[in-house]
């Protein structure tokens, strides 16, 4: 058996850390743990009155245009209780509002979430930290009780090691 490369080991460690943080976020959203909040102002971001920043994540963002996915662009994402506030690699900010979604697909085995706003341009977020988006989306769209039963969050519930939980 060949030893795993350093990049593979680092990726697995990143995913384990992201899954642990996503589990913590789920416990916070369920009211079990004390909520962690982000100081958006320190990041140069403006939230609406009463909006709570939950986590900051670095993710790849792609958009589907004319049946083809765009090239991925690295982005910094502030996950809030109302939206995803995305700083693109160009510096531009966009808001992806939970309340405007018509479709939500999370696949933690493949490390992506697809957000469909009904405008013909679904957005895909990917990377190890996407588990945070999946947890926040399930909570916001289906309620905190869905954190226990939503099938997309199964990998967070069924294994302490997300790499071991991947389908073969």
Residue bearing the bigger pLDDT, 124 or 5: 124
136: CATH? 2.30.29.30
Q: Report if residue 161 sits inside a domain.
A: no
How many domains does the chain fold into? 1
Average per-residue pLDDT in the chain? 90
**What pLDDT sits at residue 12?**
82
Which domain does 52 fall in, by range?
Answer: 6-150
Mean predicted confidence (pLDDT) in 30-50: 93
Helix (H, G, I), strand (E, B) or coil at 15: helix
As a whole number of angstroms, the distance between CA 123 and CA 114 comes to 6
**What pLDDT sits at residue 2?**
55
* Other CB atoms within 10 Å distance of the CB of residue 101: 15
Q: Is the pLDDT of residue 164 over 60?
A: no
Contact in structure between 55 and 132 (CB atoms under 8 Å): yes
Q: Report if residue 13 sits inside a domain.
A: yes
Q: Is the pLDDT of residue 81 over 60?
A: yes
Q: Report if residue 145 sits inside a domain.
A: yes
Nearest in space to 106 (alpha carbons), one of 142, 78, 135:
135
Mean predicted confidence (pLDDT) in 105-133: 96
* Tokens read off for 80: 């809030």
Kindly indicate the confidence band of residue 3, based on its pLDDT and cuts at 50, 70 and 90. Answer: low
């Amino acid at each position: 058996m060949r030893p795993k490369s350093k990049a593979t080991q680092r990726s697995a460690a990143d995913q384990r850390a992201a899954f642990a943080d996503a589990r913590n976020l789920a416990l916070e959203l369920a009211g079990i743990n004390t909520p962690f909040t982000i100081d958006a102002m320190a990041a140069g971001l403006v939230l609406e009155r009463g909006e709570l920043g939950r986590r900051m994540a670095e993710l790849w963002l792609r958009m589907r245009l004319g049946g083809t996915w765009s090239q991925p662009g690295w982005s910094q994402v502030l996950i809030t209780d109302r939206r995803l506030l995305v700083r693109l690699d160009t510096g531009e900010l966009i808001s992806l509002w939970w309340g405007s979604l018509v479709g939500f697909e999370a696949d933690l085995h493949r490390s992506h979430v697809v957000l469909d706003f009904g405008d013909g341009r679904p957005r895909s977020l990917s990377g190890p930290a996407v588990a945070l988006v999946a947890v926040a989306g399930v909570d916001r769209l289906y309620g905190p009780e869905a954190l226990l039963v939503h099938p997309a969050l199964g990998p967070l519930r069924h294994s302490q090691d997300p790499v071991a939980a991947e389908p073969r």
